[in-house]
Copies of this chain bind each other. A is one copy, B any other.
Amino acid sequence: MIAELVSVGTELLLGNIVNTNTQFLAEQCALLGLSMYHQVVVGDNKERLSEVIRTALNRADVVILTGGLGPTEDDLTKEVCAEVMGMPLAEDAHTRERIEAYFKNSIYKEIPDNNWKQAVVPKGAIVLDNDNGTAPGLILEKDKKAAILLPGPPEELYPLFYQQVRPYLEKQQKSVIRSAMVKLCGVGESMVEDKLLDLIDKQENPTIATYAKTGEVHIRVTARAGDEEGAKKLIKPVVKEIKNRFGDFVYSVKEQETLEEAVVKLLAKHDLTVTTAESCTGGLVAGRLINAPGASEVFKEGFITYSNKAKRKYLEVSKSTLKKYGAVSPETAREMATGGVFATDSDVCVAVTGIAGPDGGTEEKPVGLVYIATYMKDKVQVERYQFKGNRGKIREQAVVKALDLLRRSILEHYK
């Protein structure tokens, strides 16, 4: 089955927003095993929109349209698509009721007149109830082709897709596709691919694909089967094999779990508290740890010690260390991590000191040089990194490596 994506919206043509919906839908279609050859963006213009829809229905089996389902006169997607497919419009009583109910729970006293437009649907269309807005999703079927119309706001689009569009597409294909994600940290993408070469070469179902993120590599294992159970059965041994090959590099096998969530969970599991001592990352390591719900159980306090004076005052980094080795040195990182634990009585501390640039680099200590240290139960670990990129990129990479060293330090202690 071939799918094509059509995004409708002037704000995309003007470059006011990035088209993240298309990325989401393309990824989902790939996961469902659909082929995709074209993605198109077009504005709210009747003539051009109908031409684009006609072309898309010609070359694809399923056309997914997003945007242009709002209540204003500009919003044309439904009307134009119904016309192209020769389906007359009529008010849908069920959708009208839902719109009434939606407004009853809102801050609006009256229902704006133009919202009733959203209760009108092409006759024979499958109506997808939208719990997060007033525009329902719609599936229009004709001549073994389908047009799927979805609202543009991601908070409406995503749930509609997961709950109603995905099952529909699976039914069309008479097979179920499921996937699992193995998330790694501390290993590069090319090494991951090398280590998986035999699996990648050998296997058709499940398939294995790798994705590089900042400081991370994600491996997606995707299987097709007659039902969910069958797909999961195909995936399981492959995930197990990948976990075996990469050991502690694997921080999670949960699709939605982030590195900071995995770290916070690991801390909680061992009943540990953590503190942070940050120089060049200036609070971002703590900021990411606290991203994880439940962080308050393991994180109580942290330090941003940007100046040498602050490093001495809060972390008791010695004057002679700073003088002899400088603020960006393994010695200072080591003392920062040690000092963080002693100042707070936490079980573990992660410390970062480096040169994020654009200024401050020297030949000996260039921009991008970062030392990361952990102190845990009397053991200190220090790592040296030379990151590339601008100030933001360098800091972002340092944060990931700091979270990962923290993770590995805990794992090693409990080995």
List the interface of chain A (C-beta within 8 A of B). Answer: 12-20, 22-30, 36-43, 45, 48, 52, 211, 276, 278, 280-287, 289-291, 293-296, 299-307, 309-310, 313-314, 344, 356-359, 391-392, 395
Contacts and interface: CB of A to CB of B under 8 A. Distances in A.
6 contacts: A13-B26, A13-B36, A37-B43, A276-B283, A283-B287, A283-B290
A168 to B, nearest CB: 19
A23 B19 CA distance: 8
A230 to B, nearest CB: 24
B287 A281 contact: yes
Contacts of A359: 293-294
Contact of A17 (B23, B29, B291, B358): B23
Contact of A283 (B283, B313, B344): B283
A45 B59 CA distance: 15
Contacts of A307: 296, 300-301
B286 A304 contact: yes
Given A23-B17, A30-B15, A37-B43, A302 B301 contact: no
A39 B13 contact: yes
Nearest to A24: B15
Majority-rule SS of A interface residues: mixed
A300 B312 CA distance: 12
Nearest to A294: B359
A270 to B, nearest CB: 19
Given A284-B284, A359-B293, A303 B306 contact: no
Given A23-B15, A290-B283, A309 B300 contact: yes
A37 B29 CA distance: 25
Contacts of A52: 38
Q: Which of A16, A42, A306 has the most CB of B within 10 A?
A: A306
Contacts of A286: 282-283, 304
B42 A15 contact: no
A15 to B, nearest CB: 3
A14 B210 CA distance: 13
A301 B293 contact: no
A125 B359 CA distance: 40
Contacts of A276: 283, 304
A39 B303 CA distance: 48
B37 A12 contact: no
A263 to B, nearest CB: 14
A302 B287 contact: no
A152 to B, nearest CB: 15
A37 B19 contact: no
Contacts of A306: 290, 295-296, 299-302
Contacts of A289: 282
B15 A18 contact: no
Contacts of A39: 12-13, 40-41
Contacts of A300: 306-307, 309-310
B38 A42 contact: yes
A222 B15 CA distance: 15
